[in-house]
Amino acid sequence: MARRFPSALPPLTMPGRCRARTVRNAALDYGAALARHGFRYILVTNGHAGPRHVVALEEASAVVSRRYGARMLSVSGPVLWKFLRGKFNERLESLLGRPLTAAEREASRGDAHAGLWETSLLLRVRPELVDSGFARLPPMRFPLLDALRKNYPLRLGNQMGYIGSPAVASVEFGEVARRLLLEVVWEVVRPVFEVQDESWQQTSFLYKIPFLRTAFPYVAAGAALLATTLLLVRWLR
């Protein structure tokens, strides 16, 4: 879509990994530069949906919107996490023209990485990239506490990195997922251009979790240092 849309900017790419705070600062600086040059509407997307990645982009969007008067929205957060938590099953069934199978319904919850959704979408748009062995892979699911660990799919799973149920994927599901994604993205984006109040601002539920904020380590360290100092002062008295 970005290649066909003349006002779209190229993605920010880099090898390896970087801190969530770096992602936040890069998006903030980029958005601020656009706002200073007169752009009123700025939409940010990402294809990762990692919790800290999502929150970093939402933080940057909130700061640019507040500081420069533009409307900057990170689209991915409010969209992807609803998909990954099975919030659109009724709409999926309507587009499919049939009820979800028990396997599809189960797979749509907790599906996060190369599972039902992503494998189905690739089967629809780039089938040559999907190894036929996907149909034999067992489901991989992890409780929330495990999901908070770094690199948990590789550390705790079958060392293949996927999360969910790729074996349930199909071209049919991929086509419906593609259509539904377009519909839901437009529902999130449209208020940015149309509503007069602040209801256009949307975030994922992750944005409300303090320890996912990029400044949390610094705030926590500062609070710990302050508490230690107060205890030391009290002890020296």
Tens of pLDDT, residues 16-52: 778 889 999 999 999 999 999 999 999 998 877 778 8
**What is the per-residue pLDDT for 107?**
83
pLDDT number for residue 127: 95
117 and 71 inside one domain = no
> Is residue 3 domain-resident?
no
The answer on 57 and 101 residing in a single domain is no
How far apart, in whole angstroms, are the C-alpha atoms of residue 118 and residue 17? 22
Q: Say which amino acid occupies 173.
A: F
Residue 5 lies in a domain: no
Question: In this structure, is residue 4 part of a structural domain?
Answer: no
What is the per-residue pLDDT for 124?
95
Task: Say whether both 59 and 172 belong to one domain.
Answer: no
pLDDT value of residue 108: 79
Residue in 162, 1, 16 with CA at minimum distance from that of residue 75: 1
Q: How many CB atoms lie within 10 A of CB 111?
A: 27
Residues 167 and 201 in one domain: no
Residues 167 and 87 in one domain: yes
- C-alpha span between 104 and 41 (Å, rounded): 37
Given 164, 180, 196, the domain boundary residue is: 180
Tell me the residue range of the domain where 120 lies.
Answer: 82-180
Residues 153 and 215 in one domain: no
The number of domains in the chain is 2
Contact 57, 213 (CB under 8 A): no
Q: Which residues of the chain have pLDDT under 70?
A: 1-8, 84, 143-158
Indicate if 30 and 90 belong to the same structural domain: no
CA–CA–CA angle 47, 50, 203 (5° rounding): 85
In a shared domain, residues 90 and 122 = yes
Confidence at residue 7, expressed as pLDDT on a 0 to 100 scale: 61
> Cα(223)–Cα(225) distance, rounded to whole angstroms?
5
Distance of CA 75 to the CA centre of its chain: 9
Q: Is 13 domain-assigned?
A: no
